[in-house]
A = this chain, B = another copy of it.
Amino acid sequence: MRIVLDAMGGDFAPQVPVMGAVQAAKELGVKVILTGEEELLKRELSKYSYPAELIEVVDAPQAVSMEEQPAKALKKRNSSIHVGLNLVKEGKADAFVSAGNTGAVMAISLFTVGRIRGVERPAITAILPSLTGYTFLLDVGANVDCKPSHLLQFAVMGSAYARYVLGEENPRVGLLNVGEEEGKGNELTKEAYKLLKAAKEKGLNFVGNAEGRDIYSGRFDVIVCDGFVGNVCLKLSESLAKILAKILKEEIEKHFISKIGAITLKPAIKGFKRRIDYAEIGGAPLLGLNAPVIISHGSSNAKAIKNAIRTATRFVKSELNRHIEKEIGKFGKGNGD
């Protein structure tokens, strides 16, 4: 198993990706190929001891910033993303991991490895902590205007990921909507509901409509939506959690007695943080591409990178893309095509 890691991606590159790669090599015994500025990466690697045969550096002198337009990034054929995905395309590596610019990774993936046969639109995904475990949400930004058949395919791909990679036996799939009852929704979700309902007969475990509150309720394992709604939900969630924590902190500091009490809360706060920490999950896949691609959060620490590499190995071992191709072949666009 050989995983390519974009060593120039993320807010703390190359230090954090390099440290994550070292951890993955030592703790997971996985071979990691780092793409990026060779000199820089070798200097960074010299700080650590690790099994030399498990880390390789491939030079990729161009950088893609976090804000760069995908179309512009696509032109940089020697970027750490492009070089890395080419390694996968050429069979020199099995999967690609990046904490960098998600839009750029998606665009360059489409250009290099392409889509799985039958997939209309690959999706960006997110794994969000719920009361009982995790909810797998897609699309969260690749497709801001969707057709009903896209949502059906997101459901098929998301369900396959939850089953084969996350180990859910019979993932419960929901359609993000404005009400629980059948018949609720906008034009897109009303039509998508029909396709999903029909797909139940072919074995998709479509449970029904999910509401905004269900993203965190644990009632669904997979929730599908268009990339506009998903993107807004994801950014809203991240900020709301931060803001609520900030307001609580401000209030604690206002009251002397609470300030003292807060010290005793440390173990609880630590447990709380662990439960909502993305680093424990360590990355979510781009689904529908002809190779395993995992995106890690831009602010990932080394542990998150290591866990993203672990996720990539599971993706490869599960042969997920073979399953997706088969499932997409079975469900098509949901209209008997």
Counting every copy of the chain, the complex holds 2
Are A239 and B217 within 8 A (Cβ)?
A: yes
Are A144 and B178 within 8 A (Cβ)?
A: yes
Selected contact of A276 from candidates B189, B214, B247, CB within 8 Å: B247
Interface positions, chain A 105-151, Cβ under 8 Å from B, are 130-131, 141, 144-145
Could you tell me the distance in whole angstroms from the C-beta of A132 to the nearest C-beta in chain B?
11
User: Bound complex: CA of A236 vs CA of B260, how far in Å?
Assistant: 33
Supposing A145-B187, A213-B238, A243-B216 touch, asked if A251 and B268 sit within 8 A by C-beta, the answer is yes
User: Bound complex: CA of A240 vs CA of B263, how far in Å?
Assistant: 25
With an 8 A cutoff between CB atoms, is A185 at the interface? yes
With an 8 A cutoff between CB atoms, is A335 at the interface? no
Contact-residue bracket for chain A: 35 or more
Selected contact of A212 from candidates B211, B233, B271, CB within 8 Å: B233
Interface positions, chain A 318-333, Cβ under 8 Å from B, are none
Could you tell me the distance in whole angstroms from the C-beta of A103 to the nearest C-beta in chain B?
9
With an 8 A cutoff between CB atoms, is A252 at the interface? yes
Main secondary structure of the interface of A (DSSP, over half): helix
Are A267 and B243 within 8 A (Cβ)?
A: no
Residue in chain B with minimal CB distance to A225: B232
Selected contact of A178 from candidates B225, B227, B243, B265, CB within 8 Å: B227
Selected contact of A258 from candidates B141, B145, B247, B265, CB within 8 Å: B265
3 tightest A-B CB contacts, nearest first: A261-B264, A212-B235, A213-B239
* 17 pairs from A and B in contact (CB 8 Å cutoff): A145-B187, A212-B235, A213-B235, A213-B238, A215-B240, A217-B243, A229-B229, A240-B241, A241-B244, A244-B276, A247-B275, A248-B268, A248-B269, A251-B267, A254-B271, A261-B262, A262-B264
